[in-house]
Amino acid sequence: MPLKYLHTMVRVKDLEKSMAFYELLGLKEIRRHDSEGGRFSLIFMAPPGQEEAPIELTWNWDGDDELPSDSRHFGHLAYEVDNIYEMCQHLMDNGVTINRPPRDGRMAFVRSPDNISIELLQAGEALAAAEPWASMENTGHW
């Protein structure tokens, strides 16, 4: 039987903060469903031109105190980027902590405002090692 990937859902506490984070990565809102009766919103975000592979942000209007503080029950989301150093600098310039810097020019990890681990992978071959990344220590965990 054929199988088709639809989306990955993550629950968020602060919708505006979470959407701003994913927008920093380059994702755009592609559709939304607000449920008055269920008191929740589903916001689907995807990279431009890749609407078939969205992330679904689920936001409960009345809060969600059951979210764990460290979301390690969920592995990570992974996105390929054209230049990992430029993306990490862009994220840092906007207040995002680089938990695992791209010391190898290939891979980095950051966390969303809801502690979702995000893996960033360099498209193609790894970039040559460069500062400040090559000597930057890990911060927290990913």
The answer to the question of residue 2 being in a domain is: no
The answer to the question of residue 70 being in a domain is: no
Percent of the chain beyond pLDDT 90? 76
Q: For residues 46 and 28, is the Cβ–Cβ distance under 8 A?
A: yes
Express each pLDDT in 45-57 by its tens digit: 999 999 999 999 9
Q: Residue 1 — very low, low, confident or very high, per pLDDT cuts 50/70/90?
A: low
For residues 54 and 85, membership in a common domain is answered with no
Express each pLDDT in 22-70 by its tens digit: 999 999 999 999 999 999 999 999 999 999 999 999 999 998 877 767 6
Q: Which residue among 119, 125, 131, 137 is the active-site one?
A: 119
Whether the bond between 132 and the residue before it is cis, its omega within 30 degrees of 0, is yes
86 is catalytic: no
For residues 86 and 42, membership in a common domain is answered with no
User: What are residue 28's DSSP bridge partners?
Assistant: 46
Residue with tokens 């695992």: 100
Range of the domain at 123: 78-135
Residues 6+ away with beta carbon under 8 Å from 66: none
CA distance 70 to 84: 25
Per-residue pLDDT at 73:
60
CA distances from 40 to 13, 37, 127 (A): 11, 8, 42
The answer to the question of residue 32 being in a domain is: yes
For residues 130 and 84, membership in a common domain is answered with yes
CA distance 120 to 49: 18
Residue with tokens 């862009």: 90
pTM for this entry = 0.81
| Mean pLDDT, rounded, of the chain | 91
CATH code: domain of residue 130:
3.10.180.10
State how many domains the chain has: 2
Q: Which own/partner contact pairs does 58-61 have at CB distance under 8 Å and 24+ positions apart?
A: 58/9, 58/10, 58/11, 58/12, 59/11, 59/12, 59/13, 59/15, 59/18, 60/11
The answer to the question of residue 91 being in a domain is: yes
Q: For residues 95 and 110, is the Cβ–Cβ distance under 8 A?
A: no
The answer to the question of residue 72 being in a domain is: no
Average pLDDT over residues 6-22: 92
